[in-house]
Amino acid sequence: MRRREFLSLDLALLRFALGFVLLCSSAMPVLASIHEYSKQAFAPRSNSYFFHGGSEGLYASEVQGSTVSNEGKSFIKFESVKFRRPKESAMKHHAMQRRSGLVEAIMVEIRDRDKIGGSHLNSDAICCSPDLDTKCNIGEVIIRSNEENPGWPKRIQTFFDGQAEEATMVAESVEINKTGMYYLYFMFCDPQLKGTTITGRTVWRNPRGYLPGKMQPLMTFYGLMSLAYLVLGLVWFMRFVQFWKDILQLHYHITVVIGLGMCEMAFWYFEYANFNATGVRPMTITLWAVTFTAVKKTVSRLLLLVVSMGYGVLRPTLGGLTTKVVSLGVIYFVASEALELVENLGNINDFSGKARLFLVLPVAILDACFIVWIFSSLSKTLEKLQIRKSLAKLELYRRYTNALAISALISVSWIGYELYFNATDPLSELWQRAWIIPAFWNVLSYVLLGVIGILWGPSRNPTRYAYSEEAGDDIDEEAVSLTSSGAKILGDSVIKLERKEKKAGSSVDHPFGIGEDLEEDKRQ
Correct CATH for 212-461 of 1.20.58, 3.40.50, 1.20.1070, 3.40.720 = 1.20.1070
User: Phi, psi (5° rounding) for residue 461?
Assistant: -130, 80
Q: What is the pTM of this model?
A: 0.72
214 DSSP 8-state letter: T
Dihedral of CA atoms 319, 379, 415, 364 in degrees, nearest 10, equals: 40
User: What's the CA gap between 204 and 218, in Å, rounded?
Assistant: 18
8 Å CB contact between 112 and 146: yes
Q: Given phi > 0 = left and psi -120 to 50 = alpha, else beta, which region is 73? A: beta
Cβ atoms of 150 and 143 closer than 8 Å: no
Percent of the chain with pLDDT over 90: 31
> Are 166 and 39 within 8 A, CB to CB?
no
How many C-beta atoms lie closer than 10 Å to residue 54's C-beta? Answer: 22
**Lateral strand order in the sheet of 180-188:** 43-45, 48-58, 180-188, 101-109, 154-160
What is the CATH code for 30-205?
2.60.120
The pLDDT of residue 118: 80
The whole-angstrom separation of Cα 418 and Cα 172 is 38
Q: Give the torsion sign (CA, 68, 69, 73, 76).
A: positive
CB-based burial of residue 189 (10 Å sphere; 0-12 exposed, 13-18 middle, 19+ buried)? buried
The tens place of each residue's pLDDT in the chain, 524 residues long, gives 444 444 444 444 433 333 333 333 333 333 447 888 999 999 999 889 999 998 899 999 988 766 666 778 899 999 999 999 999 999 988 888 888 999 999 999 988 888 898 876 677 889 998 887 778 888 899 998 888 888 899 999 999 999 999 999 999 999 999 999 999 999 999 999 999 999 999 999 999 889 888 889 999 999 999 999 999 999 999 988 888 877 777 788 889 999 999 999 999 999 999 889 888 787 888 889 999 999 998 998 888 888 888 766 666 667 677 788 889 999 999 998 888 888 777 544 334 445 566 777 888 888 888 878 887 888 887 888 777 776 777 788 888 878 877 877 887 788 888 888 888 877 778 889 889 988 998 999 999 899 888 888 887 665 555 555 444 334 333 333 333 333 343 344 434 434 444 444 443 333 333 333 334 344 43
The predicted pLDDT at position 465 comes to 55
Residue 284 to residues 267, 280, 287, 327, 448, Cα–Cα distance (Å): 10, 12, 5, 28, 30
Domain locations in the chain as residue ranges: 30-205, 212-461
- Give the torsion through C-alpha atoms of 424, 430, 435, 439, to 10 deg: -40
Backbone angles phi, psi at 156, to 5 degrees: -125, 125
Burial 277-309 (b: 16+ CB within 10 A, else e): eebebbeebbbbbbbbbbbbbbbbbbbbbbbbb
